[in-house]
Each structure stands twice: as structure tokens, then as C-alpha cells.
Amino acid sequence: MLILGLDPGLGTTGWGLIRADGNRLSHVANGQIRTDASMPLPRRLALLHGAIVEVIRGHQPQGAAVEEVLGNSNAQSTLKLGQARGMALLAAAQAELVVGEYHPSIVKKAVVGTGGAAKEQVQAMVARLLPGVKLTGADAADALAVAITHAHHLASAKAMLRRAG
């Protein structure tokens, strides 16, 4: 199964594609989508949406996962992050992908083993879990971590269904 992970941000949205075959994971592609802060917000959101749509069209994933918004003290920043996340969810929904949504602490726990892991620890574990990966940046590493989290959750759900059946 090909899984698209998205780490939304208005300035930079990371994306990462992995292939999950049972418990085996492999890197397919990753990148970052950047928008120009001098552009009007609606234009930035449209560019972000269009770029995610192109990633989906180009790779044809069977599933997607998007990181949830972690609120901070700046309400405007949180709102803009939420709008960028909305573009990611919309693009995935338009492609009729089932989307998993994960809180940042769940992603860190799934990849590193602790919900309070630093970005550097996430990047190091992504590199370890996906040998040979060449990361295009921290946001792409986070997106791959989201995809890995989704793959783990899907594998666990399948295993539980087999045991129950």
C-alpha cells in the first residue's frame, strides 16, 4: 500500500510517500511545498492545494495521513496552520482517499517511542526506518513520520481483525 503523509504548514508543507508491505516500509518520495509569505492568503492556500493535488495525481497513493494542529500561543498562526491543514484534507478527500489524522505526540511516540521527542530525533528515526532516504527537509521528514504512523496503525488494525475473526 502506498501511503501519503502530510505535515501541513502555510509557509512549508512537507509530504512523504512510503510503501507499506505488512511490517516492511520503504521510502518512495518526499518533498516540501513552499508558499511566498508576501502573497495574499487565498492565493497561498490555492497554490498549496494545487501542489498537493499534483503529488496525489503523480503518485496515486491508496491512503493518506495528515498531522493534526498543535495549538500555540499565537492564535493567528494556529488559524493559518489550520487553513493549510484544511487544504491537505480537501485534496485527499477530493482524491477519495481515506485519511488518518494524528496528533504530533502520537506521531513522535510511534516513530521515536516517546511523545516528547525532538525534531532531530524524529529525523534520525525516519532515516533509520527508511534506509537510504534522502530528506528534502525537516517538514518532509515529519510528513514521512506521519505516513509511518499511519502504516503502523493500519497494520495493528489488520492484526486485530485477524485475531477477532
Residues whose CB falls within 8 Å of the CB of residue 70, separated by 6 or more in sequence, listed in order: 103, 104
| Strand 98-102 versus strand 24-34 pairing type | unpaired
- The helix or strand, by DSSP H or E, that contains position 4, with its residue range, turns out to be strand 2-7
Query: Does 120 show up as a binding residue in the annotation?
Result: no
The CA-based angle 95-14-96, given to 5 degrees, is 10
Q: Half-sphere exposure (CA, 13 Å, Cβ side) for 165?
A: 6
Query: Does 67 show up as a binding residue in the annotation?
Result: yes
CB 7 within 8 A of CB 146: yes
Query: Does 142 show up as a binding residue in the annotation?
Result: no
Rounded CA separation 22/121 (Å):
25
Indicate which residues carry an active-site annotation: 7, 67, 139
Question: Known binding site for Mg(2+): residues?
Answer: 7, 67, 139
